[in-house]
């Protein structure tokens, strides 16, 4: 491994943010407190004034959104097989059944044309995922959901900073009955190390969301309390919120830099390499990841090892989730979703993060070309 190893991602955390974390640590109050409230207010402003509540993970926001939407045993929820497994796990967690729909090979997101045929009387919600930061078509999505009476829980873990037709992801689309879930995991475009946020629709009570976030506890001014629902332990700390508050003012610059770097990949990658490139969208996508598909027949494991030997980190996001043992045991199997399976087997995540230099892209592209010719 070369000494100047280039990872596939790395967070950009400035000195002012590191100092702000130090201030929280010295303050005497390090769990949920004023920094979480300030972070929620800043996120709400970003999301056009919609109510936002902070969580300790994106996964927790998805689970709580399902509970707030009234999804439980006997219900089905529609989502994509090509996502981080958390998206489908939360459906199982609340006792419901995931209905998977194959992806559109162009966008690699859920194929909107196939959703309506999969809706039954038990279908309560749809969880679309903006894979790699490329948004699902919000106009078509909400037209369908509003017409069919389905709740939308946008899994926008990867798409903070992205937009749809000039409006930021996180804002209200359709009739405004959608939830939006963000993740602030270390690898996401904005991080709190671990964390998440849930944007609430108008007809959902933020106080109930807060109770589901923390043990169902309702507190009274006289110090008394009651517990009227079963809540989890999903609150964000002020330490994490201080990181988020330091990141948010940089989000637009992060997104702009990611778009520049993605453009550079398109310019630098030789079409003769036989890669299938992602959709070239520089308006909507936040370029959370740059993911070419390897030529069919390339041994991805050997490719990744050979790139690592050249000092380049390559990730895999993600194998189609229905082929994991847990999902096979539920009855899913090979051949169920051919597009997701093909992409899941061939996808690679190349380095892309705001602090990368232009020259790093050229370095990745020459290592990639050399590796493909070695493996051919
Ligand atoms: C990261 C991610 C999640 C889960 O977020 P965590 O903060 O890690 O719990 C869910 N869905 C997608 C698509 C993700 O990328």
**What are the pLDDT digits (tens) for 7-33?**
999 999 999 999 999 999 999 999 999
The CATH number given to whatever domain includes residue 277 is 3.90.1150.10
Q: What is the mean pLDDT of residues 110-134?
A: 98
- Residues ≥6 apart with Cβ < 8 Å to 136: 107, 109, 110, 112, 128, 129, 130, 154
**What are the pLDDT digits (tens) for 224-253?**
999 999 999 999 999 999 999 999 999 999
Indicate which atom in ligand 1 lies nearest the CA of residue 158: 15
Kindly report the average pLDDT of the chain as a whole number. 97
Q: Are residues 174 and 321 in the same domain?
A: no
Asked if the structure places residue 9 within a domain, the reply is no
Asked if the structure places residue 3 within a domain, the reply is no
**What are the pLDDT digits (tens) for 39-94?**
999 999 999 999 999 999 999 999 999 999 999 999 999 999 999 999 999 999 99
Q: Are residues 275 and 223 in the same domain?
A: no
58 lines ligand 1 (CB under 6 A): yes
* CA 360 vs CA 86, 165, 316, 332, 365: distances in Å: 31, 31, 20, 40, 9
Q: What is the mean pLDDT of residues 287-302?
A: 97
The CATH number given to whatever domain includes residue 109 is 3.40.640.10
Catalytic residue among 124, 188, 233, 308: 188
Asked if the structure places residue 191 within a domain, the reply is yes
With bands split at pLDDT 50, 70 and 90, how would you rate the model's confidence at 2?
Answer: very low
Domain boundaries, position 36? 15-249
For residue 3, the model assigns a pLDDT of 56
Q: What is the mean pLDDT of residues 270-284?
A: 97
Contact 57, 196 (CB under 8 A): yes
Q: Are residues 88 and 217 in the same domain?
A: yes
258 lines ligand 1 (CB under 6 A): no
Asked if the structure places residue 6 within a domain, the reply is no
Q: Are residues 81 and 114 in the same domain?
A: yes
Is the bond preceding 47 in cis, omega lying within 30 degrees of 0? no
CA 158 to ligand 1 center in whole angstroms? 7
Asked if the structure places residue 2 within a domain, the reply is no
With bands split at pLDDT 50, 70 and 90, how would you rate the model's confidence at 302?
Answer: very high
Q: Mapping DSSP to helix (H, G, I), strand (E, B) and coil, where does residue 278 land?
A: coil
Q: Mapping DSSP to helix (H, G, I), strand (E, B) and coil, where does residue 43 land?
A: helix
Question: What's the CA gap between 185 and 102, in Å, rounded?
Answer: 26
Structure tokens, 101: 């729909």
Of 213, 229, 249, which marks where a domain is finished?
A: 249
The number of folded domains in the chain is 2
Q: Are residues 117 and 234 in the same domain?
A: yes
């Amino acid at each position: 491994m070369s000494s100047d190893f280039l990872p596939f991602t790395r967070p950009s955390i400035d000195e002012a943010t590191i100092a702000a974390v130090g201030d929280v640590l010295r303050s005497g109050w390090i769990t949920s407190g004023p920094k979480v409230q300030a972070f929620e207010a800043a996120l709400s402003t970003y999301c056009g004034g919609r109510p936002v509540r902070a969580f300790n993970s994106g996964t927790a926001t998805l689970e709580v959104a399902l509970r707030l939407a009234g999804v439980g045993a006997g219900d089905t929820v529609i989502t994509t097989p090509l996502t981080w497994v958390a998206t489908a796990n939360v459906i199982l967690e609340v006792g419901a059944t995931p209905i998977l729909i194959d992806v559109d090979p162009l966008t690699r997101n859920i194929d909107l044309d196939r959703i309506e045929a999969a809706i039954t009387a038990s279908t309560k919600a749809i969880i679309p995922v903006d894979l790699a930061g490329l948004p699902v078509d919000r106009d078509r999505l909400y037209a369908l959901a509003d017409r069919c009476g389905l709740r939308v829980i946008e899994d926008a873990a990867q798409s903070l900073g992205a937009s749809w037709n000039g409006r930021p992801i996180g804002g209200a689309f359709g009739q405004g009955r959608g939830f939006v879930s963000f993740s602030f995991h270390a690898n996401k475009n904005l991080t709190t190390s671990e964390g998440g946020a849930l944007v609430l629709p108008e007809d959902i009570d933020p106080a109930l969301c807060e109770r589901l976030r923390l043990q169902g506890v309702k507190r009274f001014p006289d110090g008394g309390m009651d517990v009227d629902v079963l809540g989890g332990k999903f609150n964000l700390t002020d330490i994490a919120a201080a990181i988020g508050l330091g990141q948010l003012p940089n989000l637009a610059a992060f997104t702009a830099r990611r778009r520049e770097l993605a453009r550079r990949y398109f310019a630098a990658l030789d079409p003769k390499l036989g890669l299938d490139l992602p959709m070239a969208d520089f308006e909507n996508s936040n370029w959370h990841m740059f993911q070419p598909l390897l030529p069919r027949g390339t041994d991805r494991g050997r490719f990744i090892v050979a790139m690592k030997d050249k000092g380049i980190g390559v990730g895999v996001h993600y194998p189609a989730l229905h082929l994991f043992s847990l999902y096979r045991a539920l009855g899913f199997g090979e051949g169920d979703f051919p597009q997701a399976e093909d992409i899941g087997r061939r996808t690679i995540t190349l380095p892309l993060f705001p602090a990368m230099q232009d020259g790093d892209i050229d370095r990745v592209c020459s290592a990639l070309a050399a590796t493909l010719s070695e493996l051919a």
